[in-house]
Structure 1
């Protein structure tokens, strides 16, 4: 429960933030800020929770934990995917405990209350002739899918901008045909830091060259921002070569019907950004040899040299789509200083492990990168928690998307509290 004194203090910190500088320490470290984030961000926005191949067949079900809320997601006989609060309407028992399973009906193990795939209460013994089952169905949760990505919203009234995001983003990711893919591997990693640090770390590649030797094999640093004034002649030539390769690739991909140009709307309640980038070397995949990790390509692709399509959504996801596989990432706060990062690797549903792909080769780049990022997030959080910490400046070239995220975060907290947020540039005010 957030008390108004906490909310006032948090809003004061957000209003005092100098644009282009990091947040005040309590916004990363305090229990009050964590509680406000869960209430105003994770319980009121569209959040990414999984992929349709998580529940591909009727009766397939998975559970997702969002703070103190548990949500069950089930595929019905009509192939519709629905979400409900994982709470029995009798005396509140948790209905499903495991992360995934297959059910006929949803049966509470406490007293046997039984629910159908659309949430209606089908059976409740010994409740008397006047009991109205129609008033005791499962409580629904908003759910939308976007070309195979699953989003939920726990609010009574979900943000109304999902359709715009879907209209913009679907043409980019639909050709990868996730609905006809399968989850080859899923991995949960707990980072010892605040969720905002996890997202900020993801929104920049300033740190990549020195910390991600595996990731920087397929990915070119110039695709993520750089300072042109600091480049020597050799690196300037390298940038020019990369831009030429990008222009050629964009023309080739456009001829194939694949949108590639940068598209973003990061200030929206459901903020998003996507862009297809050239991969280095063989240009096929996020692997150490830059060649495809899966011989059976996604969708109807026949050309593996389709680069890497990057997609971000606020508040909690990032994704990479190649011709041969896709990687999805979900960020979920577990406390002020603990964050779950759930990574899933998807391949064509007919691909066979050991024949079409080697699991270690498929997952190596991002398992290593995730572990490295977890170490960096822990370092950042431990430093921010020290008394000597003060907000530091972002690079205008390589950390502009971190600033965009912080602006989005402040605006959404303010909107949730029914307030407006105009940042004060203290450097200008001082003049």
Structure 2
């Protein structure tokens, strides 16, 4: 049973002040980290990758979430499934590389062999009475949302992912994730708690002073601003942005591309938000010159000026969809003070590097931005460990979405603890 000390999770949740950051133990306590794994990452839909991660029959991807290891595999029938990466004999891990291709899943230890859709095919020396049908791989719930892959480790996963999928389908479908390929992937270890990584993503209060590359294509005003603190030049820019949103939403939706905001970050178990936002200058892509990084556009898109479709999910992802490429981000906790940020860049499956796109141009904005954000996560985490730290107030103008993330998180912990 959880203790009732002043820093027990129940007590901390009960005294949480809305509109303020969390108390230090939420970021530093090993007990709360373990609670996060059990209550959040083992019970909710977690974004782990894209269908193009396993493009062909026999392709396998391994995703580790704390002590759980999960196989994402495309079967001989073309269907993508998820299983626990555990042999049913004596528990050895089946696949050790992050990505590989196999004909069958064969345990290195005693050669128990599984078909790609899970059944045990072969187990030598087990005797004539041994029933292979009782020892197939243990399945993990998997849901593809237009090619974005989510898994849930709970016995009974939240059902509202179907509502999210229905709402997001028209937004995501034009970008044809299933007809894309992963052009590049980076894994960045941030020296901070996973919630600090997520909070940092949910605001652009910090953007102007810390992200010189990102603020070329991206308007910081898309996350809110304080009108009374702006000089004349900034007020003019904010007004230009607001006019662009109104005009371009009308233009894009008139052409059949849903663009207006849908926001359910704090009022659903499977929280999400989406909106198609303008890109500055050339208006084509999140690149340093704001022009398309790939000349081969995604799906059947023909207009490169489609802005950037933002899609966020609780608890661990955000995504940017342009006409020419897609960038996806997943956040996986490693320890109370270390977090994996995995970023993937996708282009059309037929796009050829060096011909249709230049990899440096494709990736340089978010490689720089991730590194900058990683530094910010580190300095915040080092600060919340100080005995002088106490929860500070969020800006009502620019950190409202941070509050929605924290409200969702604390609500889900409270529901778990009863």
SS in 1 for 2:244: helix
- 1:292–1:70 distance in 2 versus 1, CA, 3 Å: same
**Residue range with higher mean Cα deviation, 260-269 or 285-294:** 260-269
1:68 match: 67
SS in 1 for 2:238: helix
- The Cα of 1:233 is off from its aligned counterpart by 3.1
2:312 match: 312
Cα distance in 2 for residues equivalent to 1:224 and 1:396? 11
SS in 1 for 2:189: strand
- CA deviations on 1:308-348 (whole Å, 9 max, x unpaired) are 00010000000000000000000000000000000000000
- The Cα of 1:126 is off from its aligned counterpart by 1.0
SS in 2 for 1:229: helix
Which ranges of structure 2 fall in alignment gaps of 5 or more residues? none
2:369 match: 369
2:356 match: 356
- The Cα of 1:6 is off from its aligned counterpart by 7.4
1:218 match: 217
Kept after mapping to 2: 8 A contact 1:61/1:102: yes
Cα distance in 1 for residues equivalent to 2:174 and 2:91? 42
SS in 2 for 1:296: coil
2:3 match: 5
Cα distance in 2 for residues equivalent to 1:238 and 1:182? 36
Cα distance in 1 for residues equivalent to 2:304 and 2:398? 29
Kept after mapping to 1: 8 A contact 2:285/2:292: yes
SS in 2 for 1:283: coil
1:147 match: 146
Cα distance in 2 for residues equivalent to 1:324 and 1:107? 39
Cα distance in 1 for residues equivalent to 2:144 and 2:4? 35
- CA deviations on 1:369-414 (whole Å, 9 max, x unpaired) are 0000000000000000011100000000100011111110011011
Cα distance in 2 for residues equivalent to 1:245 and 1:68? 47
- The Cα of 1:243 is off from its aligned counterpart by 1.6
Kept after mapping to 2: 8 A contact 1:21/1:403: yes
Kept after mapping to 2: 8 A contact 1:71/1:85: yes
For normalisation by structure 1, the TM-score amounts to: 0.95
- 1:217–1:116 distance in 2 versus 1, CA, 3 Å: same
Cα distance in 2 for residues equivalent to 1:239 and 1:209? 13
2:194 match: 195
- The Cα of 1:240 is off from its aligned counterpart by 1.9
Cα distance in 2 for residues equivalent to 1:398 and 1:133? 57
Cα distance in 1 for residues equivalent to 2:67 and 2:413? 19
Kept after mapping to 1: 8 A contact 2:192/2:337: yes
SS in 2 for 1:415: helix
1:423 match: none
Kept after mapping to 2: 8 A contact 1:14/1:23: no
Kept after mapping to 2: 8 A contact 1:181/1:349: yes
Over the aligned positions, Cα root-mean-square deviation in angstroms equals 1.1
2:103 match: 104
- The Cα of 1:104 is off from its aligned counterpart by 0.8
Any runs of at least 4 consecutive aligned residues in structure 1 with deviations exceeding 3 A, and if so which?
Answer: none
SS in 1 for 2:8: helix
Matched, 1:233 2:227: no
Kept after mapping to 2: 8 A contact 1:145/1:151: yes
